[in-house]
Amino acid sequence: MKKIAITMGDAAGVGPEIIARALYCAEIRDFCAPLVIGSRIVMQEAIDLLKSPLKLRLIKTPDECASVIGTIELIDV
């Protein structure tokens, strides 16, 4: 499965919320193994704002991406 890195963009913008909503859909994992590059704090705030059941899984390299349903795998920068 191809890994797809998604950058959050502006932390004060809508990017984090859009990412959280998109990765909530399990079907996306039929096509790719998504991972997010951005701020752990901002991504967690977006998840909390949406009252999403998703959990953050911090990784250090794309090789650690396991594409687990119910998680957002994140490289914290």
47, 56 Cβ separation under 8 angstroms: yes
Per-residue pLDDT tens, the chain, 77 aa: give them: 899 999 999 989 999 999 999 999 989 999 999 999 999 999 999 999 999 999 999 999 999 999 889 999 999 99
**Stretch (H or E) spanning 21:** helix 15-24
Domain of residue 27, residue span? 3-76
Instruction: Please count the residues of the chain.
Output: 77
Question: Into how many domains does the chain fold?
Answer: 1
* Nearest partner of 20 among 29, 8, 11, 10, judged by Cα: 8
